[in-house]
Amino acid sequence: MKSIKDKKRDRIDNYRIFLYLALFCSTAALICTCYFTLWKMVPSNIKIKAGVDQTLDLQLPASGDLYKDAIEVSGLTASNIPRDSIHIDLAKPVTIKANEINKYVLDLKLFGIIPLKTVDIQVIQDKTLIPAGIPIGIYVKTEGVLVIGVGEFIGEDGQKYSPSQYILQSGDYITQVNEEKITSKTTFVDIVKHSEGQEMVLTVKREEEILTLKVKPETNQAGDYKIGVWIRDNAQGVGTMTYLNEGSGFGALGHGINDVDTSTLMNLEEGKLYQTEIVGITRGSNGSPGELTGYIEYDDSKIIGEITENTSEGIFGYCNEQIKAQVPFGELPIGLKQEIKKGPAQIICSIEGQPKYYDIEILEVHLNNDNINRGIVLRITDQELLSLTGGIIQGMSGSPIVQNGKIIGAVTHVLVQDATSGYGIFIENMLLH
CATH code, domain carrying 176 = 2.30.42.10
The answer for 403, left when phi > 0, alpha when psi is -120 to 50, beta otherwise, is beta
Domain C-terminal end among 109, 126, 143: 126
In CATH, what number is assigned to the domain containing residue 396?
2.40.10.10
102 & 181 share domain: no
pLDDT of residue 1: 54
Same domain, 115 and 170: no
The residue among 356, 247, 384, 359 whose CA lies nearest residue 308 is: 247
- Do 184 and 316 share a domain, yes or no? no
Q: pTM here?
A: 0.84
At 79-101, the pLDDT tens digits run: 333 446 788 888 888 888 778 88
For residue 320, the enclosing domain spans 252-259+274-433
Please spell the DSSP secondary structure of 173-213, one letter per residue: EEEEETTEEP-SHHHHHHHHHTSTT--EEEEEEETTEEEEE
359 and 433 both lie in a single domain: yes
d(C-alpha 363, C-alpha 382), whole Å: 15
Please report whether residue 31 resides in a domain.
no
105-118 confidence digits (pLDDT tens): 888 888 888 888 88
- pLDDT of residue 124 exceeding 70, the answer is yes
**How does pLDDT run across 127-142, given as a tens digit for each residue?**
899 999 999 999 999 9
Q: Is residue 6 part of a domain?
A: no
pLDDT tens track for 29-64: 888 888 788 778 788 888 888 888 878 887 888 888
Give yes or no: residues 294 and 398 share one domain. Answer: yes
Look at residue 104 and tell me whether its pLDDT is greater than 90: no
As for how many domains the chain has, the answer is 3
Same domain, 284 and 383: yes
Sheet holding 103-110, edge to edge: 45-49, 114-124, 103-110, 62-67, 85-89
Same domain membership, residue 340 and residue 214: no
